[in-house]
Structure 1
Amino acid sequence: MVEDNVIDVDTMLWHVGDFGKYQCILMVLFSVINILSAFHYFGQTFIGVVPDYKCKLLLDEDPRYLEAGTCSYKIYQNESVQEIPCSNGWNYRNSYGYVSIVEELNWVCDDDWKPALGQSVFFIGSVIGTLVFGILADNIGRLHVLVAANMFAFVGNIATYFATNVEVFAVCRFVAGCATDANFVMMYIIVMEYIRPSMRTFGLNLCIGVFYCLACMVVPWVAVLLQNWKFLLIVISVPHLLVLFFYLLVPESAQWLISKGRTKDAIHHFQWIARVNGKNVSSKHFEALERYYFQHVSPTTTNESFLGLLRTPKLRRKTLILIFKSMVLTLCYDAISRNVNGAGYSPFLVFTITSATILPACLFILLVQDRVGRKALASGALFLSGIFTASSAIVQVFLPTPSATLIVVLAIIARLGINVAYNSGHQYAVELIPTVVRGQGVAVIHVLGYAASFFSPQILYLANIWKPAPEVILGVLLVLGAVACLFLPETLNRTLPVTLQDGEDFGEDEKIFEFACCRAPTESTTELTTGNMRTYM
């Protein structure tokens, strides 16, 4: 047992309750964030959905001599054909009667680039917002950034309601995009730090698997119910105001507070958690926490930046692997998602079916990750996804007439695999980045992942040159990502690194093919704390 004068954050959390009533409250609030994030992110898809359309013909024109196309119509006269650009507008055939901004503002034909521009600017905003909010998170705290990001989502979406031209639309989508990722990840970090390490996978993936998946499946039908993109924006925007009340219920990250020398504030949060969980904690435990971090947290750690992750060789290696893994995950996730779209079907129905794969992926993580460990799951999921993706290419190359059903089945299995890798990858990265730069580190890793996703359309376009090319490239990248994960340390049931030196030393005694599931039951788990090693039997 750890002596009272040597108490770190995880030990303190055990004293005040690491999976009690308060953690249940945090999980409920994290579920709310999952719903808000899904509606915000995928609402972008449905405000600009493109319906089927054709040129509108005048009533006094004889339809027997006319043929309407999408951007022009043909006139047949005296055995000659004349093609004339649409001048009377368009007739739209929208799914379930839903009117998007494309139909309302006639952003088709010569203006069909406008909704695409809005979506591109949205993702540019997400890259910049993730980076800026990540830096702010390590300076002003996770909770302030969580609230600020959700307010950006509210303002950006509400402002889009009033957009009547592409310039205003683009600016509004940029503001809304700035919220993306930070509006979710900051709550993820806070909840993860206040839950028992052995229950993190259960708590986090239960919320994501159920509520994020449910929100993704529901958002297209909310659009259908409301029938108009403006009403959809209001419905997905106003609930973000609820996050303002999180100041009353959600604590700031204790690890962050301590890394900034604000140990008394961290103790205040622990006392609050103890009261909610019905725990009577002796004041000597809080004094021991304050003494311990006064001795072990160096003042120089309070002003670290992301560059600190690249300063020392071992931590630099881990950081570069995490960056490469993030780029592979984001790029392949986006490309595989696009590659199994259901052309010819309603986009609302296709989106719902595709989103349904999130739940089984999260359930699989929930059942497996705390048994096999982070490294084995990350590497295994990437490898299997890569094999099934590459198998689709092999089928297309060696079978003269490949079965469409077989290709779809392979693609769906690959999608499930990448879902598992993608959803578990967030937790793995958060656990490996030291607390003092966790906000910046996670932000930069995510930003570089988003940047890599810009190549997704180009990879898919290669199918026009050689049909199996996308599957070959994606399969190779996924397998390389799986191999890279083998060089990362396991984090299962380990105290997370706080300082950069902790991150440098973390897991350096592990072998490449050493997995948590292969450890002997009697093997001790070494936990790294700030400047101190201890062993639990």
Structure 2
Amino acid sequence: MQHVLGIYVNNTMLEVDRMMEQCGDLSRQQLILLLLSPLITLLSAVHFRSYSILNTVPKYWCADGLESGARPPNESSCKPLYNNATHSSSCKKYNYEHYMGYQSFVSEMNWICDQEDKLSKGDSVYLAGCLIGCLVMGYLADRLGRVPILVLAKVVTIFGNFLTIFGMSLALYCIFRFITGFVINSNFFLIRILIVEYMRPSLHTVCLNICYGFFLFLGMVSTPWITILLGTWRRFMLLEMVSIIMVPIFFYFVPESVQWLISRKKYGQAITALKRVAKINGRQIDDRVYEEFIEDCKLSQQNAKKHPNLLDLFKTPHLRRTYLIMLFEFMVLPYYCKLLVYYVRGFKISPFVMSSLRAAPILPASLVIIIVQDRIGRKALAMTIRFLIVLFLLLSSIFLSHAANRLLFTFFVIGIFFCNLAFHSNMQYAIELIPTCVRGQALGAIYDVDLMYIICIKYILNTSADFLSLPEIILGVLTLLGACLFLLLPETLNRTLPCSLEDGEKLGNDEHWYTFGCTKKRTQPEELNSLAQ
């Protein structure tokens, strides 16, 4: 065992993978994680959808002067509908056409017409909370641990949504929206990180996409209809509060990431976590094995920076280039996704139906990733998706300007499928490329870049006024550039996760731009197996 662990002293994460294999890398403890993580993902999807459910704006019209039973107008209207010389341009009472009887926060508060700026302020505060919170929560996850920050994020999300019930003034509403926005996205990327850090490399794709394929899809698609069954936004928020019972269960049964503990040089806690995993999995391991493992970890980390941060990542040439490429990819992808929604902006369709349509392709996209990604590798799949997106943009620019509604919806669903395919495969790729010591901060910054499209997207879409297909051309060029940049990234198929910045800097140094997972021999697992024998 000492020989096996000591051969790869320059690559700490191989030692962790090997040690986790001894403790049981797909046994009871991992199965518990794979049971609880999808449930956390499902609840996170429900919490995330609560934002749009809360702010649903139904069809409305002015009720001043209208007789009971009067027919509503074809479109929403802020002005009185009757005609006489004394009518006012402002309205004091509104009627609503609630979709299947559902009453939203907006319709209850009458935040429409001259009051709609209140909703815009709430949206801006929520977005500000998301942008700040992703970085802060990612930093805390790297400093304090994955599990406690994930639990904190879940608790704050639940209470932030629940307290909205009492936010009947603009100030309180903005405060509670900021609190929810601050932690909402960390629910997603922290659980991804935890799964990847606890599973051996060959299981990353399957475990992540089962968790995010079926359960994220289930949460996103079902939430609008659960809300309709409940009838009001208040009942929905109260139902969300019930999910608080999951938090202590998760905290008790899921130990801290061993890879994170090693990256922070918390060797005593790492041994405690490993012994706990081994005990749950029914494995008996001699104490000398743990001691030899820690000695090798200390040797490999003797030159590693003690408390690195995201700024330190930018001081490493190779890793900096890798990270900037991933940031670029996540900047371009949201523009493409928003363009798809822009295509169907004029459709008179319920926001609940649209919400389900946008979430429906998550499941098939995750199934495709499971089938394809471990066969051809991360880099090849990422490039293939980009070329398919360029082809889709070309076809859409040709056909969609005069397309019928049915064809337009077909293009919309196919496009959202590609969007989900690219996002989920890219997110796994980014997690595997970024070292453990700064993974939370780096993923938080990536989520921030993904959110910034809300601010910038209108400038690209407005170019259609000068030339109808200009948005598609701009995005096509950027997407092709992104596909080419993927050639500069290392392949991570069956590669161990880098632990320190030094590990991340060396990742892929033995590869060329034309190295792909489908053409590269899978040497690491076989080497470890032969050594163990």
Q: 179-188 or 329-338, which moves further after superposition?
A: 329-338
Match of 2:64 among 57, 61, 68: 57
Q: CA deviation at 1:415?
A: 1.8
Matching residue of 2:517: 516
Matching residue of 2:319: 315
CA RMSD in angstroms comes to 2.7
8 Å contact kept, 2:125–2:177: yes
Q: CA deviation at 1:450?
A: 1.9
Match of 1:176 among 173, 180, 186: 180
Change in Cα spacing, 1:236 to 1:464, as seen in structure 2 (3 Å) is: farther
8 Å contact kept, 1:47–1:232: no
Whole-Å Cα distance in 2 between the matches of residues 33 and 39 of structure 1? 10
Q: 8-17 or 479-488, which moves further after superposition?
A: 479-488
Instruction: Map Cα deviations across residues 420-454 of structure 1 (whole Å, 9 max, x no partner).
Output: 11011111111111112111222222222322442
Whole-Å Cα distance in 1 between the matches of residues 262 and 367 of structure 2? 34
Which fold has the larger relative contact order, with Cα–Cα distance below 8 Å and residues 6 or more apart in sequence?
2
Matches within 5 A, 1:431-510: 431-464=432-465, 466-510=467-511
Whole-Å Cα distance in 1 between the matches of residues 120 and 157 of structure 2? 19
Q: Percent of aligned positions with the same letter in both sequences?
A: 36
**2:41 is the alignment partner of 1:34:** yes
Matching residue of 1:25: 32
Matches within 5 A, 1:176-255: 176-255=180-259
8 Å contact kept, 2:104–2:233: yes
Q: Decide which structure has greater strand share.
A: 1
Matching residue of 1:531: none
Change in Cα spacing, 1:5 to 1:428, as seen in structure 2 (3 Å) is: closer
SS at structure 2 position matched to 1:425:
helix
**2:94 is the alignment partner of 1:90:** yes
SS at structure 1 position matched to 2:477:
helix
8 Å contact kept, 1:301–1:436: no
Matching residue of 1:9: 16
Instruction: Map Cα deviations across residues 179-217 of structure 1 (whole Å, 9 max, x no partner).
Output: 122122212211211112101111110111111100111
Matches within 5 A, 1:95-494: 95-298=99-302, 300-340=304-344, 343-396=347-400, 401-464=402-465, 466-494=467-495
Whole-Å Cα distance in 2 between the matches of residues 59 and 201 of structure 1? 59
Change in Cα spacing, 1:323 to 1:250, as seen in structure 2 (3 Å) is: same
Instruction: Map Cα deviations across residues 285-315 of structure 1 (whole Å, 9 max, x no partner).
Output: 2122111112111275221111121112111
Unaligned runs of 5+ in 1: 528-533
Unaligned runs of 5+ in 2: 7-13
8 Å contact kept, 1:52–1:93: yes
Q: CA deviation at 1:230?
A: 1.4
Number of positions where the alignment pairs a residue of Structure 1 with one of Structure 2: 521
SS at structure 1 position matched to 2:483:
helix
Change in Cα spacing, 1:206 to 1:190, as seen in structure 2 (3 Å) is: same
Whole-Å Cα distance in 2 between the matches of residues 67 and 379 of structure 1? 46
SS at structure 2 position matched to 1:92:
strand
Whole-Å Cα distance in 1 between the matches of residues 416 and 160 of structure 2? 31
8 Å contact kept, 2:304–2:502: no
Letter in 2 for 1:357: P
Letter in 1 for 2:39: V
Letter in 1 for 2:510: D
Change in Cα spacing, 1:387 to 1:59, as seen in structure 2 (3 Å) is: closer
Change in Cα spacing, 1:63 to 1:384, as seen in structure 2 (3 Å) is: closer
Change in Cα spacing, 1:216 to 1:418, as seen in structure 2 (3 Å) is: same
SS at structure 1 position matched to 2:80:
strand
Q: CA deviation at 1:341?
A: 5.6
- What TM-score, normalized by structure 1, do the two folds share? 0.90
Whole-Å Cα distance in 1 between the matches of residues 5 and 39 of structure 2? 38
Matching residue of 2:55: 48
Matching residue of 1:70: 77
